[in-house]
Structure formats: C-alpha cells, structure tokens
Structure 1
C-alpha cells in the first residue's frame, strides 16, 4: 500500500489571484491546497483550478508576521503581504457548493483574521497563461495585490466568483465588520517603493563533482 501522508495533511483550499512580480499586467487564478506545519508556518501546493484535471503550477510558503519581521532584509523582497487580498474579499476559502454563503462567511473568520497578518513567498513553475500545454521556461516569482488599482480585471474576478459560487464584493463588506485595522510591514511589497522586482534568470555554472 502506498502512503500519502504529506498530501493527507492538507486541510485548507484557498482561491486567490497571483500576478507576476515583474509584469503586473498578467494575472492568474491560483488554488492553494495548504498544510499547517506549525502555527506560524503553512505550505501550499498551487493548482490553476480546483478540478480533477488541474495543472500543478507552483508553491507558496505562508509565514506569520513575526517571522517576516525577523527575515534578513535581502530576503524580504521575495515576500508579499496578504492584507489587501483578505480585506478586499479576493482571497476566499473554497468549500462544498451546498454550504450556504452565510455559513461560509462565519466559518472563514478565524482563517481571515490569521491570514490578514501573514506574508507569502510564491514560486510558479508553470506559466500556464503563456505555455498552456507544458511547464516551459524558468520559474517565476509571483506577488499578490495591495491596492484596488493593482487588482485583477473586474471581469476575471467576476468569472471566478460565478464559477466558485462566491461574491468578492459581499465578502469585502462582511470582512470590514470584523477585521481589525492592520498596518502591513513597511518592508513588504517592496516593488511599490522601488518599481523593481526580482526575476529568476538561468545562469550556467561549472558543475561541482
């Protein structure tokens, strides 16, 4: 019998959108299947959908605020905040379609209160919006969103909401009633200050034998 222990530890399905760190005109839907390794650290496998034929497109590591605060300054440029994603309603827990919206809004409150103060490091190994058939090219650093003007096109959000049976704007209003004010770390989302972002470019080195 085969063991699927790591997969069996997945306890959460989160849907959000990612944008390429160096090209914020490209937006992709991202379904995270997450495991909690410890209270301040989650790891997520990312697919392009929640369907059985979904493409595996990357990974995301999610850390609590204190861990982000303690990161070396050089490391922080790879991480993004989740504050806007949560408060805007774009980041959503995915549940069975039979569950009423009101029940989902109540059930997701503990997760949203936690995620509002977290930071993520996301690598996509499959740029499926450019190469739909195979995972070609180098991996890409991905980011989240921090303002309405940087958000994905409204039509993209609408399509996701209709497919998943959710309402982003309704979630924004509901979460405003219980999420506390939160100021994200000044060193997160560094591209906002520098207008630059890291890119993974392949460089050949001599092989060490």
Structure 2
C-alpha cells in the first residue's frame, strides 16, 4: 500500500475537523461502558472472537452495544449485542429465546471484563468492576456478528452469524488468545475469577437460554431467496 500523500493527509484532516464542527454524534456520544469478552459461533464452538463492546444503557433492564474487534483507532465494526435483564428474558417467546445466551459463566470465570485503556495495568480493578459484573451476572445477550473477522479479515463477506458465550470450563478461547488479551489489557483473567468468588451471589442461569447445551444444535443463518413482495 502506498503511503498517503501530504495533500491527502491535509484533506483528510480538514474533512474530519469540518465534520466534527457540523455533524451530530449524539447517539455515539452516549456510549459509556466498554466491555471485553469472547464470543463463539453458535454453530461452531471451535471459533472464538475477541469482542469489544461499547454500550449504552437504554434502561436498567436493556443495554445496546456495538462490537469491534479491538479498541484501537482502526478497529473493525463486527457486530451488535442487545443485553436484557433476567426479568425481560423470562417474558420472551420460547421461539425467541434460542437466540439468546447467558452471561453467568462469562462473569464468574473472569472472561467478561470492564476494559481499561490498553497497556494501563490495573485500571479496571475488581472494586471498579463489581457494580457492572453484579448487573451483568444475571443478564442475557443476543449477539449478531456481521463480519466473520476470523475467516475474512479484509471484508465483511457472507451472511451474518449468531454468536454465543461459554457456559462452563473447557469451552473458552484458546490459551494463547486469552493470554494475548490479558497482556494487552494489563488484566489477569484467572485472578479475577478468584476475586469474583467473593462477591457474586449464588445464581443459576435460565436454561431456556443457551439452547445448544440441551440440543447439541446451534443456529446458523442461511440465505433463502424469495420472490420480492410488491
């Protein structure tokens, strides 16, 4: 790739400066929480993706998140997640619940974390994380990735994918992936696991979520061409 010319750099800087002055970014500016976790494909549990969630709480019971593959300036937008409380999850139609996963294990295992700025060890301490983890512990997520970044790193090709989370030991990401995340964030997943044992209350996830655990089958979106309705 050729280096950007000085003229192109100037025009790019001018464009961004002008854009900041005249355009509204109100919905984006309401994002106030950065979470990091690992998603697994609903139909292929050998494929894990590091997922950085940037979330806005529409209410105490309902959060919406945009998901990137990292927290870097050139991060790729790979999907979305909706998070609801257990109260709302229990009201969903049974057919709908198969799209949702629990967060219980993600929280108690330390896999789900508040994400500090890169290379600033200890920013998201256990004390800072506790309110968020207690809230997310009994919540449920519906996650769609529109970019299969692990197989198509350059472009978002193919249909979207339903994603799930781990619900038990031995289901998490490869050790090297977890180590890379901990090193980049200055966190210690296993240490968090031990700390959280001290403050998470007894709780059992709603088995209507994580349907794959009972059926051994995962949802996969398949393209089905239909006559255009007029």
Q: TM-score range by the shorter chain?
A: over 0.9
Helix, strand or coil for the counterpart of 1:203? coil
Aligned: 1:112 with 2:139: no
Alignment of 1:40-119 (within 5 A): 40-96=61-117, 101=122, 104-119=125-140
Identify the residue that residue 189 of structure 1 maps to in structure 2: 210
2:49 to 21, 28, 32: 28
Aligned: 1:203 with 2:203: no
Aligned: 1:132 with 2:153: yes
Q: TM-score with structure 2 length normalisation?
A: 0.88
Conserved 8 A contact 2:121-2:187: no
The structure whose Rg is larger is 2
After superposition, the C-alpha distances for 1:30-53 in whole angstroms (9 at most, x for unaligned) are: 000000011100000000000000
Give distance in 2, aligned partners of 1:50 and 1:11.
14
Conserved 8 A contact 2:116-2:124: no
Deviation at 1:102, TM superposition (A): 7.5
Q: What stretches of structure 2 of length at least 5 have no aligned partner?
A: 1-21
Q: TM-score with structure 1 length normalisation?
A: 0.97
Give distance in 2, aligned partners of 1:174 and 1:202.
45
RMSD of equivalent CA atoms: 1.3
After superposition, the C-alpha distances for 1:136-195 in whole angstroms (9 at most, x for unaligned) are: 000000000000111111121111100111100010011111011110002111100000
Q: What stretches of structure 1 of length at least 5 have no aligned partner?
A: none
1:129 to 1:105, Cα distance in 2 relative to 1, 3 A: same
Identify the residue that residue 40 of structure 2 maps to in structure 1: 19
Give distance in 2, aligned partners of 1:87 and 1:172.
6
2:167 to 115, 139, 146: 146
